[in-house]
Amino acid sequence: MLAIAHGELIQIFRNRLVLVTMLVMPAAASAFYIYLHDRIPGLAVGTVAAVLMFLVVVMGLYTTAVTTLASRRQNLFLKRLRSTAVDDARILTGLLLPVTAITVVQVAVVLTVLSIVAEPPADLLLLVAATLATVVMMLGLALATAGVTNSPEHAQVTTLPVLLGVLVVSGWVGFTGTEELTLLKRLLPGGAAAELVVDAWDGGAPVADSLFLLAPTLAWVVVAVGLAARIFRWEPRR
């Protein structure tokens, strides 16, 4: 598994398109939102934190994971790996570990910068839980999306619905809260996690109520993994 992860890490830093998608775009978007925070009166830090976290995880982790899996399937690397003694779970873990680790570091750096230029989170552990739950959810959705993605080029199309949907929902919840349409906002992918980030940063909500918000995100993990188990393919589609 570690050998697969090491090889994948090398491939990431050799691919300029992946580097731009994974590093430059989230960093630029994050810098822009931090800039806006100082210039929009009344904009809560928790809202900015939620938007930044989802930008990095969705644009960096989700799209890169789908592209990586589609590429490795297309060049038959997945098929060759599956013929070895390594089981399926370790193969996928090895392939996705580098991009996941880089994304987690990115999120940590961006949110640390935000805490310095603005204010620190009220509940750091709750923020970590929200971030990790979002990472797991997007990994599950990446596996499911990769099942219907024929090539790296095709990934530019297949990732759009989830990418735009999750970013819109998280931004909607972050900027408007959940006082209205509460159930709908929390059940949509990214909604509950965005609310949890806002609560963790700005405080004011009971911890027990905030932890309850993990349930919808984890439910999406179950749904995504279930879909991936049905539609994920190890060989190119004929």
- pLDDT score, position 19: 66
Q: What is the pLDDT of residues 164-194, one digit of tens each?
A: 999 999 999 988 988 889 899 999 999 999 9
- pLDDT score, position 162: 94
Position 25 pLDDT exceeds 80:
no
Please compute the mean of the pLDDT values over residues 17-36 and round it to a whole number: 68
- pLDDT score, position 210: 75
What's the rounded Cα separation, in Å, for the pair 94 and 68?
12
Higher local confidence (pLDDT), 157 or 29: 157
- pLDDT score, position 87: 83
- pLDDT score, position 37: 62
What is the pLDDT confidence band of residue 36, given thresholds at 50, 70 and 90? low
Higher local confidence (pLDDT), 234 or 16: 234
| 3-class SS letters over 51-105 | HHHHHHHHHHHHHHHHHHHHHHHHCCHHHHHHCCCCCHHHHHHHHHHHHHHHHHH
- pLDDT score, position 173: 93
CA gyration radius, the chain: 18
Please compute the mean of the pLDDT values over residues 1-22 and round it to a whole number: 69
Q: What angle do CA 196, 199, 205 make, to 5 degrees?
A: 115
What is the pLDDT confidence band of residue 158, given thresholds at 50, 70 and 90? very high
Please compute the mean of the pLDDT values over residues 7-12 and round it to a whole number: 71
Q: Which of 12-26, 109-123, 160-174 has the lowest mean pLDDT?
A: 12-26
Position 94 pLDDT exceeds 80:
yes
Give this prediction's pTM: 0.89
- pLDDT score, position 33: 67
Q: What is the pLDDT of residues 63-72, one digit of tens each?
A: 989 998 998 8
What's the rounded Cα separation, in Å, for the pair 136 and 147?
17
What is the pLDDT confidence band of residue 40, given thresholds at 50, 70 and 90? low
What's the rounded Cα separation, in Å, for the pair 225 and 237?
20
- pLDDT score, position 20: 67
Position 216 pLDDT exceeds 80:
yes
Higher local confidence (pLDDT), 181 or 85: 181
